[in-house]
Amino acid sequence: MPPSRLKLHVLSSGSGGNASIVEDTETGDCIAIDCGICKRDFLVRSSECGVDLSRLRAILITHDHSDHVCGLGVVLRGLAKQGALPPIYADEAVQRASGAIRKLRGDFEFKPLEIDGDLAISTIGVHAFRTSHDAASSCGFRFDCGDDSIGFMTDTGIVTPQAHDSLDRCRVLAIESNHDERMLWNGEYPYYLKQRIASDSGHLSNEACTAEISKLLWDGLEEIVAMHISKNNNTFPLATGTIQAMLDELDHPARLCCGRESRAVSV
Ligand SMILES: [Zn+2]
Ligand SMILES: [Zn+2]
């Protein structure tokens, strides 16, 4: 078994707001992914998870949708008051497309995020890979530290070959399980929105998430986090039930939990 040096704290996950933190438990250094929640939730939930935000070394942005960036300004100002000024890494197209980011560029340090490239932030290696989503640009991440690794992918209609390769042999996999297909198509959303969500540039269904995880199973996989679960088109039991049935069938002991909007979850 690989050592569990990294921790993933999902502060919030879902269309109401997204923010997560990857922590190197040996150094205390950490990296945030997205900032689509209010300052209070970001600060309080980080502290509940035992994260020392003075050790926040970077904020990475997956894409420009507001549920991933709307809290960036208030959180950055809150962090600055505590003396923390982490650089923000976002693809140039995301920086251009996001009004929230454009407003902040004069006051905070934004760096270009190279998708398909590698980055070292403190002791943590970061690899950004392209996802398939209806945003200016979008990506997921793989984090490596020592022999430990976390794969993180939300907001993608399909799993690109690059994404699949990047998620290979991770100890922790946080992958979007957005909707139950039957609930989506029988639900209240207008047809264009249903089509958008189910499209190749929308979101992964429970079935698609489960299929991808089944291809990524290996002996070192310990934790699975079902992410970005829709309030309207999914339920926690449906999302986890689909994944757990596959794990049971293949007799794999990985633990499974859900990222939530209402509270932080750490693995
Ligand atoms: Zn989203
Ligand atoms: Zn999105």
Ligand 2 midpoint to CA 3 (Å) = 32
Is this prediction's pTM over 0.75? yes
Q: Ligand 2 centre from 249 Cα, in Å?
A: 32
- DSSP 8-state class, residue 179: B
Distance 155 CA to ligand 2 centre (A): 5
C-alpha distances out from residue 133 to 32, 140, 175, Å: 21, 11, 14
List, for residues 206-264, the tens digit of each pLDDT value: 999 999 999 999 999 999 999 999 999 999 999 999 999 999 999 999 999 999 999 99
Instruction: List pLDDT tens digits, range 76-131.
Output: 999 999 999 999 999 999 999 999 999 999 999 999 999 999 999 999 999 999 99
Pair of tokens at residue 31: 């990296």
- Ligand 2 centroid–CA 202 distance in Å is 8
Give the H/E segment covering residue 257.
strand 255-258
Ligand 2 mean position, distance from CA 172 (Å): 22
**Ligand with minimal distance to 131 CA:** 2
Q: Of the bound ligands, which one is closest to the alpha carbon of residue 34?
A: 1
Ligand nearest to the Cα of 14, by number: 1
Average pLDDT over residues 25-53: 97
**Domains observed in the chain:** 6-266 (3.60.15.10)
Distance 177 CA to ligand 2 centre (A): 13
**In the structure, what pLDDT confidence band is assigned to residue 3 with cuts at 50, 70 and 90?**
low
Amino acid making up residue 210: T
d(CA 192, CA 190): 6
Beta strands in 64-188 (DSSP E): 88-90, 110-112, 118-121, 124-130, 139-145, 148-153, 172-176
